[in-house]
Amino acid sequence: MEYIKAFVVGGIICLIGQILIDKTKLTPARILVMYVCIGCVLGGIGLYPKLVDFAGAGATVPLTGFGNVLAKGVKEEIDTAGFLGVFTGGLKAAAGGLSAAVLFGFLASVFAEPKEK
């Protein structure tokens, strides 16, 4: 049942993004930023963790999950470091994912052969 919940919730998140791409003039980049911001706001007010408890990876893998990680990191860092945590918490919480993205992006650029159109 856990896999079905993850599949359905992740699919709904992706479906909403696809509808926004097809039916609006929003660019995919703006939709991605909007998803991160929505995840951050929902994580900040405590709603997104409830979705994560219900759907597991179906809620943590999409970009909304990244926004939730940023909000969670800021909240935790504010508790330990005070106001400075606003600036450092999100980066500390997401450092592993950001480092992996940079590393794999670099590796893809090394091994890919770009072609001109």
The model's pLDDT over 45-58, given as tens digits with 9 standing for 90+, comes to: 999 999 999 999 88
Q: What angle do CA 60, 62, 67 make, to 5 degrees?
A: 75
Q: What span, in angstroms and rounded, lies between the C-alpha atoms of 2 and 79? A: 32
Give the model's pLDDT for residue 45.
Answer: 92
pLDDT tens per residue, range 77-88? 999 888 888 888
Give the model's pLDDT for residue 57.
Answer: 87
pLDDT tens per residue, range 1-29? 899 999 999 999 999 999 999 999 999 99
Global confidence as pTM: 0.78
Q: What is the mean pLDDT of the chain?
A: 90
> CA–CA distance from 97 to each of 24, 65, 66, 89 (Å)?
30, 11, 9, 14
What DSSP element (H or E) covers 93? helix 85-111
Give the model's pLDDT for residue 13.
Answer: 92
